[in-house]
Structure formats: C-alpha cells, structure tokens
C-alpha cells in the first residue's frame, strides 16, 4: 500500500481562507450566515472557515455541527459510529443561509443525509455546500458550491484528511491499495 501527501498544512490554510472569501462574495457579506460542519472533520473545518469569515468581514459568524448518522441510507454497507452531538447556533437556521461543511465529497450520500437532517431542524433561506476535497465518483446529483481542491481519484483509493484538532497535523493523503 502506498501513501502520498497531496496537501500540506499551508495548502489547507490557503484553501479554507479562499473558501471563506468565496462564501462572503456569494452571500454578499456575512449577514444571516450559519456554517454547519458534518462530524467529524467537517466541524473543525466549519469552525476555521467561520473564524476566517469573521476576521475578513468584521462580524461574528455562527458555526455548529450537524450529525447525519441516523439519516444515512447506507448504514448497512458502512460501519456505524456513535452519533456526534448536533449543535445549532442559538439564533437557529430559519431564514439563514446555511453552509454545510464536510472534509471530503465522494458519493454525495452524506450530503443527502445532511439535507434530510437540516429539514428536521428548520427552514433556511438557502443551503450551500463547502468541501475541502472533491474527489468525484458521485452517486447522487450533488455538487459543491465551494471547493478547496478537486482531487480526481480512483475508486479503490482512500482520501484521508488529517486535521490538527483530531490528528495532530494538517495534511491530506491518498492511500493506494496494494494489488
């Protein structure tokens, strides 16, 4: 099995800063903007992007977490993990522009589950999607609005996002399965 690093800490920092700028531009500012990270690493990315937007725009941007575990339609094919807490900012999401944040966009099933979970929480004005890595291979018609890096990969490869909050380092690696 071979492992190669495709993004280093500086690359991830640049990508999240660029995504923050793109979100501000798309939203025409930071008013009524809520970032919801999808556990696990999407939560840390949402916090980073929200902090960057707050710094750029000069106004606080709410961030939270949206666990989608119980909304997934593929629990029988993937090992389940204990649900993480969902934390919605006190002002809620009704009438807000919600940006869902995930680390890797692959089949689109996680985002479909996130949209279902979001519908049970409130009614946002608009929903956008930000992802650090878009690796392709979609099974559903879902496309990100903000992408850190398009990373074409083979189905048998695994893209790993390492963040300092969980892994002690910032990096994105690709593992290639041995033949």
Instruction: Specify the fold of 10-73+85-153.
Output: Rossmann fold (3.40.50)
Read off the pTM.
Answer: 0.94
pLDDT for res 75: 64
Chain centre distance of CA 168: 19
Rg (CA), the chain: 16
Percent above pLDDT 90 for the chain = 86
For the chain, what are the domain ranges? 10-73+85-153
Measure the CA–CA gap between 12 and 154, rounded to whole angstroms. Answer: 22
Model pLDDT, residue 178 = 64
Contacts of residue 56, Cβ cutoff 8 Å, sequence gap at least 6: 20, 21, 24
Backbone angles phi, psi at 125, to 5 degrees: -65, -40
pLDDT band at 44 (very low <50, low <70, confident <90, very high): very high
């Amino acid at each position: 099995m071979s492992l190669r690093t495709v993004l280093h800490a500086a690359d991830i920092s640049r990508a999240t800063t660029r995504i923050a700028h793109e979100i501000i531009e798309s939203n025409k500012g930071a008013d009524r903007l809520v970032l919801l990270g999808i556990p696990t690493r999407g939560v840390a990315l949402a916090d980073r992007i929200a902090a960057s937007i707050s710094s750029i725009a000069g106004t606080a941007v709410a961030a939270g977490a949206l666990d989608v575990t119980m909304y997934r339609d593929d629990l029988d094919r993937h090992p389940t993990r204990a649900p993480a807490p969902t934390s919605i900012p006190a002002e809620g999401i009704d009438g807000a522009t919600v940006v869902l944040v995930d680390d890797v966009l692959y089949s689109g099933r996680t985002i479909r589950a996130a949209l279902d979970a979001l519908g049970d929480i409130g009614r946002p004005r608009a929903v956008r999607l930000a992802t650090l890595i878009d690796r392709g291979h979609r099974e559903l018609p879902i496309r990100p609005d903000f992408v850190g890096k398009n990373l074409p990969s083979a189905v048998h490869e695994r893209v790993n996002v390492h963040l300092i909050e969980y892994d002690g380092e910032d990096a994105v690696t690709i593992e290639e399965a041995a033949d």
